[in-house]
Amino acid sequence: MRPRYRFPMRGRRVGGPGGYNYQGTRGGYNQQGYPNRKMRNMSDRERMMQGQNRRWNPWNQQLGPGQRRPGGQQGWRNQNAWGGNQDRRQQHRAIRDSAIQIKDSWTLQEELDFTRLSKLALPNVKEPIDLVQCGEIEYYDKTYDRVNTRNERPLVRVNRISHAVCATEDPVIRRLAKQNVARVYCTDAVAASIMCCTRSVNPWEVVVIRTDDVLFFDERDKTEFDMISVCETAAEPPTEESGHINSARCLALEATFINTNLSQLMLLRGGKKYAFPEPNPFIDDDKDEDEEDSDEMGGSDEEARQAKRREKKDEELASIGYRYRLFDLGNQIGMVVRCEVTGALPPTNADGEQSGDAAAPPQFVYIRSLNEFDSRHCGGVDWRSKLDTQRGAVLASEIKNNAFKLAKWTACSMLAGADQLKLGFASRVNPKDSSTHVILGTQQFKPQEFAIQLNLNLDNAWGILRCVVDFFLKLPEGKYLLLKDPNKPMLRIFAVPSDTFDTTESERSDAESVANDAQKPALTRVQETDEVEHQEKQQTAESVVNKDE
């Protein structure tokens, strides 16, 4: 019988058992006879058919379901047949822009490629010491463990204040640095990013300050370091244009919004709280800002000051506990890390049952969320159809597409000493609307066990962190920039001037004046316009009276 073909053939049929032989196509730049031509990028359909066409390989002699009997036909993979050079087309390669512009005054100190970093190891790191514990955390709401695709819950916005303070501005870290407790100070997000850097793809940067044999790892102000990426390590990451709801930046904003609200929504709000020995260290900063604002406003803006106080009273602090832990990296190098925990669970005994000891400390929980924007993109899996029955497939897809994000969360939970890592699964109500979401399910892990599933080697992670710390301790005092290259798997270290990334006083005053003008109440502007109109009317009335006289 005549073999069936799935696509219309561009050539003409000639004799022979193969049926259709390639007889040429249109000439020009993409001519198939030219071996070293510039190959265009593969389309989505061509990439999909690439795997299907592998079963037509003439060298694959193993017969299976749907395969043809080898013999006289030419085959789809023959160089003389249609589609012979299909695999030579280039894959999509996104060119990423750096988050910061490298200046001529910066000096490159070192390049650390991921191949060398992946071979490092620092085994047997000792258990950390808790130095200071601050804040209050609420208990986890166990009703969210029963949420599924048939019993979904809407994701509601929670108006709470969460502080994002870098290491050099943290009052507790300043106090510990004056006491010479350690030589390195950083936050858990910065430490986890360095430990898991070999899995990262997107660019990021960390500012390192060395003073008096002490290192401070800081996040640069007004950057996307704290934003949560989506499908960063996928084979086909989001490539939509900026401004589209499925662009990389919009998806990162959406994921950050979901994580901020879901981590507070899954707690027993208004109920019993677990209080650490010290209060939240960042409340005093808010009071100082209020005093500065009151001094600047003076007595004329009493109404605006009262309105601002009313807004602050309505807003509630987020349930976050801060644990300042001292890690021993060996060679007399101590590192203080400010870690965060989101919630708590009642203490349990050895059998897993709830303990009746009121003095026993609770179990700490680290809550994060995975979000689905469209199952047709990035090789994803439809959560609504497979989350309940095939949760392993959903989790495997997320591990493949978000390897760096999940490894970073696991490292943060282990640094904080959390007993459980809670993952929520949030999805859009409509794939074309990024403003409304529902919670489709939750899943809990022990951080050490989840690290094994992620193939996260903790000895290698500690080795990378120790290598970076050792390199900065060998450099002279000054300010440096640790930069993840946007297009190459490597870290770059630059020496930058001391005033880099600092705003001048004039820029600050201009920014404050612009902000004050923007925050000026609209009612006062309306009152000013009404007064001007009233004065104009009085002047016109007086002129009319004078004319009549």
Quick one: residue 27, left, alpha or beta (phi over 0 = left, psi -120 to 50 = alpha)? beta
Q: Please say whether the beta carbons of 188 and 408 come within 8 A.
A: no
Residues 263, 321: Cα–Cα separation, whole Å:
13
Q: What is the pLDDT at residue 40? A: 64
Residues 243, 447: Cα–Cα separation, whole Å:
36
Q: What is the pLDDT at residue 20? A: 46
Per-residue model confidence as pLDDT tens for the chain (549 residues): 555 555 554 544 444 444 444 444 444 444 444 454 456 677 767 766 766 665 554 444 454 554 554 544 444 445 455 555 555 555 555 677 777 888 999 999 999 999 999 999 999 999 999 999 999 999 999 999 999 999 999 999 999 988 889 999 999 999 999 999 999 999 999 999 999 999 999 999 999 999 989 999 998 877 788 899 999 998 888 877 778 888 989 999 999 999 999 999 999 988 889 999 999 999 865 555 545 454 544 544 556 555 555 555 556 889 999 999 999 999 999 999 999 999 999 887 765 666 666 667 899 999 999 999 988 887 778 999 999 999 999 999 999 999 999 999 999 999 999 999 999 999 999 999 999 999 999 999 999 999 999 999 999 999 999 999 999 999 999 999 999 999 899 999 999 998 888 754 333 443 344 334 433 333 333 344 445 455 554 555 455 445 444
Same domain, yes or no: 210 and 297: yes
Residues 389, 441: Cα–Cα separation, whole Å:
12
In the structure encoding, which two tokens stand for residue 183, read together? 């030589």
In-domain check, residue 338: yes
Q: What is the pLDDT at residue 46? A: 72
- pLDDT tens column, 175-196: 999 999 999 999 999 999 999 9
Nearest by Cα to 440 from 394, 376, 400: 394
- pLDDT tens column, 46-72: 766 766 665 554 444 454 554 554 544
Same domain, yes or no: 322 and 183: yes
In the structure encoding, which two tokens stand for residue 351, read together? 């059998």
Same domain, yes or no: 159 and 76: no
Residues 530, 390: Cα–Cα separation, whole Å:
65
Residues 325, 81: Cα–Cα separation, whole Å:
65
Contacts of 9 (CB under 8 A, 6+ apart): 20, 82
Residues 66, 36: Cα–Cα separation, whole Å:
34
Same domain, yes or no: 74 and 141: no
Same domain, yes or no: 344 and 455: yes
Nearest by Cα to 225 from 404, 397, 370: 404
Q: Is 193 helix (H, G, I), strand (E, B) or coil?
A: helix
Same domain, yes or no: 77 and 141: no
Same domain, yes or no: 307 and 409: yes
Q: Please say whether the beta carbons of 254 and 381 come within 8 A.
A: no
Q: What is the pLDDT at residue 437? A: 95
Using the Cα atoms of residue 302, residue 306, residue 309 and residue 311 in order, give the sign of their dihedral: negative
In-domain check, residue 329: yes
Nearest by Cα to 321 from 194, 462, 132: 132
The number of domains in the chain is 2
Same domain, yes or no: 340 and 272: yes
In the structure encoding, which two tokens stand for residue 22, read together? 């390639």
Residues 266, 344: Cα–Cα separation, whole Å:
11
Same domain, yes or no: 263 and 340: yes
Q: What is the pLDDT at residue 308? A: 54
Tell me the one-letter amino acid at 316.
E
Q: Please say whether the beta carbons of 471 and 110 come within 8 A.
A: yes
Same domain, yes or no: 75 and 140: no
In-domain check, residue 384: yes
In-domain check, residue 515: no
Same domain, yes or no: 453 and 317: yes
Residues 132, 322: Cα–Cα separation, whole Å:
8
Same domain, yes or no: 144 and 75: no
In the structure encoding, which two tokens stand for residue 438, read together? 């529902």
In-domain check, residue 197: yes
Quick one: residue 451, left, alpha or beta (phi over 0 = left, psi -120 to 50 = alpha)? alpha
State the residue range of the domain holding 345: 107-496
In-domain check, residue 64: no
In-domain check, residue 100: no
Q: Please say whether the beta carbons of 398 and 453 come within 8 A.
A: no
In-domain check, residue 337: yes
